[in-house]
A and B are shown apart, each in its own frame.
Chain A
Amino acid sequence: MSELLRALAVLSEPPSRQAARVADVLGLGRAPSRVEWTELFQLELPPYASIYLGGEGWIGGEARDRVAGFWRALGLVPPAEPDHLAALLGLYAEAQEAGAPESVLRALLWEHLLSWLPVYLAKTGELAPDPYRRWAELIEETLLVEAARLPSERLVPLHLRETGTVLDPREAGAEAFLETLLAPARSGVLLTRADVRNAARDLHLGLRVGERSFALRALLAQDAEATLRWLAAEAEQWAERHRRHGGALAPVDELWAQRAERTAALLEELAQTIGKEVSRV
């Protein structure tokens, strides 16, 4: 699958004439534009593993170091962005072509690709324009084929298991609550800027343009209970979405689903608490 993975990797880089030809060969219907690329990869869903696997939900940090460590373990100098989707797919393709042992491919696949990409690609499929939607489906199909070929006997990757969960604002404060809610590995929920806009629209609340945490804080300030319920529903949907592979990626999917369920429960509890406080007033 190395050539296919490399071709798919190309699509997460800025569009170019050659990328358009690759899109054509892949049967994506049409080539994505730079505007679409920017919207998806720069603004909504930056394709870096560290965002989706790290406890902070940021690019870089320990999560990126862990990926870089894998490059080093293979005797390679990690590139500047070792956890970028294109770099990881390219690495997998190279390792496969170079005849790397199955143990290496399995580790790369389960530790650094399947640990976050199903979540990422699910959201891409929901948000992205047609070419990228098809592109996301193809990556997922390819990875599922690889997962079937190289099943993992181990459970979920350690680093995903050890990431904490969403912090309760009543104990840790609102700031920490929002930060951890926006860290997908903790919350099991991937909230994009578009989701926050949708929340504002669904709840008829004013949207303050800014970082997601800023915009969410503004929604909470306007109607905390409704916002928390909206978020709880979103988390429940995510729990279902994580289980969509029907067991093919069971241990990983299950952990993501449990995280989302836990988040949903916390959000619901918070909504109820606030509802009671409001009714007391």
Chain B
Amino acid sequence: MNVHELEERVSAAKRETLARGETFYPGPSRIHLAAFPPKERWDEWIDVGPRGEERRVLLVPTTCFNCEAACGLLAYVDRETLQVRKFEGNPEHPGSRGRNCAKGPATLNQVTDPDRILFPLKRAGKRGEGRWEQVSWDEALDDIAARIRRALVEGRPNEIMYHVGRPGEDGYAERVLAAWGVDGHNSHTNVCSSGGRAGYAFWMGLDRPSPDHANAKVILLVSSHLESGHYFNPHAQRILEGKQRGAKLVVLDTRLSNTATHADHWLAPYPGSEPAILLAIANELIRTARYDREFVRRWWNWQEYLEREHPEVEPTFEAFERVLGELYASYTFEHAERESGVAAETLREVAELVASAGTRLATHVWRSAAAGNLGGWQVSRCLFLLNALLGAIATEGGTYPNAWNKFVPRPIYVPPHPGSWNELTWPREYPLAMFELSYLLPYFLREGRGRLEVYFTRVYNPVWTNPDGFAWIEALTDESLVGLHVALTPTWSETAFFADYILPMGVGSERHDLHSYEQYDGRWLGFRQPVLRAARERLGHPVRDTREVNPGEVWEENELWIELSWRIDPDGSLGIRRFFESRERPGEKLTVDEYYRYIFERSVPGLPERAAAEGLDPLAYMRRYGGYEVDRGIGPVFAERVPEEELVDVRVDERGRVYTRAPRPDSPNLVPLPSPEGDAEGRRPVGVLVEGEIVRGFPTPSGKLEFYSPTLADWGWPELAIPTAPRSHVHPDALEEGQAVLISTFRLPVQIHTRSANAKWLDEIAHTNPLWIHPSHAERIGVRTGDLVRVETEIGYFVVKAWVTEGIRPGIVACSHHMGRWKLGDAGQRQMMATVALEHEQGRWAMRRRSGAEPFRSNDPDTTRIWWTDVGVHQNLTFPVQPDPVSGQHCWHQRVRVRRAKPGDAYGDIAVDTERAWAAYRRWLDLARPADRHSPTGERRPYWLLRPLKPAREAYRLPERADA
């Protein structure tokens, strides 16, 4: 048959196949054909195995749980065995659109991990001794519930705390705690994104960026978003789309990261100098009048700035422009070069690029420099200044405030705000902190500021993740400080070793959650569900309790919290049970089906209609597809006119803030929003008067973008009230002779914190963290790749291998996150945890590695093939706590000395001096400006700022003043 005949034969076969209503081509994305199994075949799909074997599978969607991006997964469930064969991307998920990073498919490893915790465990010996006994869920829950009930009845609500690493469903845990009436939410955010959040929040009230990368002309990242970080997969694919359409990518990253390698302009600044660079670009825009004057005139609170800071100046926009020019005139490219080490000429080129972007400038920072430096929150404040100058806010290709691209549907119950204030999480020293001062908890407990009766750690590993993990061990092993520690975790962690109960939680395919994240200018919902439950239900076998389908007795949290709440308040006398009762069957427990049915039927606009069009009810639709886009193209909400019905007995103040007596309309979307104060007569802020029109504005006190933050000025930080470049604690002037800066927070693309150590595919790819060191630095100290070096911090040292590379600036060293996992004995995760010995004597801790990872026999033959022994070094143990006095963010960068290892040093050695750790804590605490000295209102914190689990207003009063 010649090729012409073959062409005809293929065409005929295609015609015949299409005529039968089937797909001819399998959908290789590279030739632009259908890329995924057609959704009408998800009940009965034939999957081809590695050797051509065919399997009948059901395709069931869920949501990845390995990072916050919440990308869609599609589980291939074998119809014969009802086991998950693999996970691929869910094409129906609006955020990830069928694409995943390595961590998504590796969920399968987490499901089948031979070391996973399958049953509730209770400690058998002393806390931390490593002896466990299996107990029933009933026994564990009765014990925990009784302690919580006693604490509540005895008026000790602040002794109940829930400390979360990876949050599940938006607001679910907060509502549980609110139902219990406790201010007990604690998060990991202050070791993560508080710095980034603060900079955004002081500008616009909302604390996250939602860049429209795909439509940008210039993308400016102070992050490594093509490889890691929050929303990296949804963002990375849109950044690449933007690049394919011709966008230029500018990356600020001290390391030559994978993201930097894709940049059109890679700037490798000295750590902490990022604000100086950003302000130099801003200065260029201002100096050359290449900013959007109309946008600035309409939407910045420049009048307030002039009135308060320059009363001598006539309050006109032209006068403000003059002042603005003077404010930033000293931020020249030459100044930025001196600070950052990046050539002025390069910075000028980047500034030209930024200027050319107009309203299509997509910018992003989340952790990175914002989480590394004292004053790091000014990185996001200075970055967003560029958007604010160009008017690139909520524009196509610009950057949106997150809340406008997020949808949190109203659930069946919304309990009231708790009436108490917990100073263990919200101490008065940090009134402006974005989130809880979680990593200072051991210090606060040791100082006697409080104790905990029941402490939940939930998918959180503070002993490993937080700075000064030994302080955590000391607190967790002291039963007078922590009465009961309950670790809710799918896998072993260094923190779980110090628990009283370990309660096994499901991984991404074994639990329910609802997510919505700002990943483009649209709002979507992603539904995480136990896939075997959904599969069985699709095959006609209803499931009442997720434990019926999960491995062992692994549970999910939604059902757990309902059950636990009933046990705390079995007769309803505490007023808790009512928030966990069925409405369909009064007096009975709420089920997850009813909970989600309520949401999908009543709180998600358009979903019932979309489902009906396919002959499904809304819950069945979400179980089948796992994702739903509520709407897209939200646009500039701030410029929308306020509808007439919301304007009742309106008052407009002298700066244009508009107040109304009309009640806030009910919204099905409960996305957290700031709550600017009303006027003295009881009206609520509803908008802002711009050019004679009442428009929504921004959720800030002024209703405008707050170039000048009166909040910062009034609460003790007037010198930081406008975007500025504070001096980092690792500024060259702050270093002693011979000191270097250690960057410790960068991630590896295939790992996620400590949660993915139970994924063998990921571990095989990435399992160590050598110290990046520049050749000139290495030569100076006589070190070559592979040599052991001792990295000395303020409180101790760790011993690690060197990796000599030009991918890092001279004088800076870097060591990745994720690595250095350890266990004390047999219990633990064997493929990524070294076995160590701990010594503690007179305030000094030492850790020494006894053995690395080793092959072992299990039900997975791959565990006999483990070829790596090195699992990296746990550097965080040697870091002192370094709270930023404004944002509360732990400032991760470290001042260190790097030396050749000393005789007797061994790989993985750790030593820490607790006294020095305490001294560092006190020194940083002294930087704070406490509310009881600086609060202008007699309250603990500006009420308008976002706060998780916001207490009732009365609880905001500082006790001394309340007494007075």
Contact = CB atoms under 8 A, between A and B. Distances in A.
Given A20-B48, A34-B49, A78-B244, A94 B32 contact: yes
Interface stretch (B5-13, B308-316, B756-764, B905-913): B5-13
A141 interface: yes
A16 B48 contact: yes
B26 A9 contact: no
25 contacts: A4-B3, A9-B28, A9-B30, A10-B28, A13-B26, A13-B28, A16-B27, A17-B26, A17-B47, A17-B48, A18-B23, A18-B24, A18-B25, A20-B52, A26-B6, A27-B6, A33-B52, A34-B51, A77-B245, A84-B30, A87-B30, A90-B32, A138-B6, A142-B3, A145-B4
A4 B28 CA distance: 15
A3 B33 CA distance: 13
Nearest to A5: B7
Of residues A20, A22, A145, which shows the largest number of chain B Cβ atoms within 10 Å of its Cβ? A22
Given A10-B25, A17-B26, A77-B245, A3 B50 contact: no
Contacts of B48: 15-17, 20, 34
Contacts of B26: 10, 13, 16-19, 22
Contacts of B31: 6, 9-10, 13, 86-87, 89-90, 93
Contacts of A80: 240, 244
A127 B27 CA distance: 26
A247 interface: no
A35 interface: yes
Contact of A81 (B30, B33, B241): B30
B30 A77 contact: no
B89 to A, nearest CB: 14
A22 B25 contact: yes
Contacts of B19: none
Contact of B9 (A25, A35, A81, A94): A25
B244 A3 contact: no
B-side interface size class: 35 or more
Contacts of B245: 77
Contacts of B25: 6-7, 10, 18, 22
Of residues B27, B30, B50, which shows the largest number of chain A Cβ atoms within 10 Å of its Cβ? B30
B30 A13 contact: yes
Contacts of B46: 17
Contacts of A35: 50-51
Contacts of A142: 3
A74 interface: no
B54 interface: yes
A21 B14 CA distance: 10
Interface of A: 1, 3-4, 6-7, 9-10, 12-22, 25-27, 31, 33-35, 77-81, 84, 86-87, 89-90, 93-94, 138, 141-142, 145
B1 interface: yes
Nearest to B2: A141
Interface string B396-438: 0000000000000000000000000000000000000000000
- Nearest 10 pairs of A and B residues by beta carbon: A90-B31, A13-B28, A18-B26, A16-B26, A4-B7, A86-B30, A87-B30, A34-B50, A25-B13, A3-B11
Contacts of A31: 52
A50 to B, nearest CB: 14
B6 A77 contact: no
B23 to A, nearest CB: 6
Contacts of B7: 1, 3-4
Nearest to B37: A16
Contacts of B28: 9-10, 12-14, 86
A79 B30 contact: yes
Contacts of B17: 21
Secondary structure dominating the interface of A: helix
A13 B241 CA distance: 22
A4 B25 CA distance: 12
A9 to B, nearest CB: 5
Nearest to B245: A77
A17 B22 CA distance: 12
Contacts of A7: 10, 25
Contact of A33 (B14, B32, B51): B51
A20 B24 CA distance: 11
A26 B7 CA distance: 9
A20 to B, nearest CB: 7
Contacts of A27: 1, 6
Contacts of A10: 25-26, 28, 31
Of residues A34, A78, A141, which shows the largest number of chain B Cβ atoms within 10 Å of its Cβ? A34
A145 B3 contact: yes
Given A33-B50, A33-B51, A90-B31, A1 B3 contact: yes
Given A13-B28, A79-B30, A138 B52 contact: no
A25 B14 CA distance: 10
A68 to B, nearest CB: 8
A138 B5 CA distance: 12
Contacts of A89: 31
Nearest to A2: B7
A96 to B, nearest CB: 11
Contacts of A13: 26, 28, 30-31
Contacts of B2: 141
Given A4-B10, A6-B31, A21-B13, 8 more contacts: A3-B7, A3-B11, A17-B46, A33-B52, A34-B49, A77-B244, A84-B30, A87-B31
Contacts of B14: 3
A14 B27 CA distance: 10
A94 B10 CA distance: 16
A102 to B, nearest CB: 19
Of residues B3, B28, B31, B54, which shows the largest number of chain A Cβ atoms within 10 Å of its Cβ? B31
A4 B6 contact: yes
Contacts of A87: 30-31
A100 to B, nearest CB: 15
A117 to B, nearest CB: 15
Interface string B220-256: 0000000000000000000011001100000000000
A218 B113 CA distance: 38
Contacts of B13: 21, 25
Interface string B31-69: 111000000000000111111101000000000000000
B244 A34 contact: no
Contacts of B32: 79, 90, 94
Contacts of B9: 25
A34 to B, nearest CB: 4
A2 to B, nearest CB: 8
A15 to B, nearest CB: 6
A33 B31 CA distance: 21
Nearest to A94: B32
A87 B50 CA distance: 24
Interface string B144-169: 00000000000000000000000000
Contacts of A14: 28
A33 B52 CA distance: 5
A15 B52 CA distance: 8
A6 B25 CA distance: 9
B30 A3 contact: no
A195 B787 CA distance: 35
A84 B24 CA distance: 21
A265 B9 CA distance: 47
A77 B247 CA distance: 12
Contacts of B29: 79
A3 B51 contact: no
B1 A3 contact: no
B30 A25 contact: no
Of residues B11, B25, B49, which shows the largest number of chain A Cβ atoms within 10 Å of its Cβ? B25
A24 to B, nearest CB: 9
A90 B30 contact: yes
A25 to B, nearest CB: 4
Of residues B46, B50, B52, B245, which shows the largest number of chain A Cβ atoms within 10 Å of its Cβ? B52
B54 A138 contact: no
Interface string B729-753: 0000000000000000000000000
